[in-house]
Amino acid sequence: MLIIGPPGSGKGTQAERISDRLGVVSISTGDIFRVNVRGETPLGIEAKKYMDNGDFVPDDVTNKMVRHRLSESDVRNGFLLDGYPRTAAQVDYLDAILAKGEERLDVVLQLTADDEELVHRLLDRAKEVRRSDDNKAVIRLRLDLYHEQTEAVVDKYAARGIVTLVDGIGPIDVVTDRVMQAIKAVQAV
């Protein structure tokens, strides 16, 4: 399963809730990046340069981190990807990783939200948790990059018929209910 949406749409929060309710591991590229940056791994040092500017981490760096994470034993009974793939090339790379294990994505949950709402959410988050990548200019850049690059990912998965739209605006519990209803609807098909 994949959860996708623009920065600030609630992917991380909803991924945790889905993970808890369905008993599958949630894999966040943001968490993978932060672990590597804190650990000052070679990939983490490279990723930090891009993260600090609000740019997406290049595919080759991201792909290596994700490939390693998907090789761990806790993903054998299913997983939820949060924040990956972000580009069409990453979709192809993920397909290759999954094909080796004779797996595929069953559903792509796309959280939707208005850009102005997202800017407001991210600025509020920046006040609570100081992050170098949460200021107005960087937030706008990340949203522009999302629209330019990540929407192609959604198009690829939509062509496969596995995208389910979920309104990401509203109280967290309400959005979670929408997400769980969307998953149940997909499972019923």
Q: Is 101 annotated as a binding residue?
A: no
Annotated binding residue 157: no
19 labeled part of a ligand binding site: no
142 is catalytic: yes
Is 90 marked as binding a ligand? yes
**Comparing C-alpha atoms, which of 154, 48, 62 is closest to residue 109?**
154
Known binding residue 84? Answer is yes
Q: Is 48 designated active site?
A: no
Cα–Cα distance for residue pair 124/116, rounded to 1 Å: 12
The one catalytic residue in 11, 17, 121, 178 is 11
> What is d(CA 37, CA 31) in angstroms, rounded to the nearest whole number?
10
Residue 49 is among the residues annotated as catalytic for this protein: no
Q: Catalytic: which of 125, 136, 140, 160?
A: 125
Question: Quick one: which of 97, 147, 143 has its CA closest to 119?
Answer: 143
- Taken as a whole, the chain contains a residue count of 189
Would you list the DSSP string of 86-137?
Answer: -SHHHHHHHHHHHHHTT-----EEEEE--HHHHHHHHHHHHHHS--TT-SHH
**42 is known to lie in a ligand binding site:** no
Indicate if 67 belongs to the active site: no
Annotated binding residue 121: no
Q: Choose the catalytic residue: 38, 49, 76, 131.
A: 131
The annotation status of 49 as a binding-site residue, yes or no, is: no
Respond yes or no: is residue 140 known to be catalytic: no
Q: Cα dihedral sign for 49, 51, 56, 62?
A: positive
Q: CA 23: distance to chain centroid?
A: 18
17, 121, 142, 178: which is the annotated catalytic residue? 142
Which of 17, 48, 69, 86 is catalytic? The answer is 86
> Which residues on adjacent β-strands are paired with residue 2?
81, 108
- 21 annotated binding-site participant: no
Q: Is 104 labelled a binding residue?
A: no
The response to whether 170 counts as a known ligand-binding position is yes
Residues placed in the known binding site for ATP:
8-13, 125, 170
Binding residues: 8-13, 29, 34, 55-57, 83-86, 90, 125, 131, 142, 170
Tell me the binding residues for AMP.
29, 34, 55-57, 83-86, 90, 131, 142
The set of catalytic residues is 11, 86, 125, 131, 142
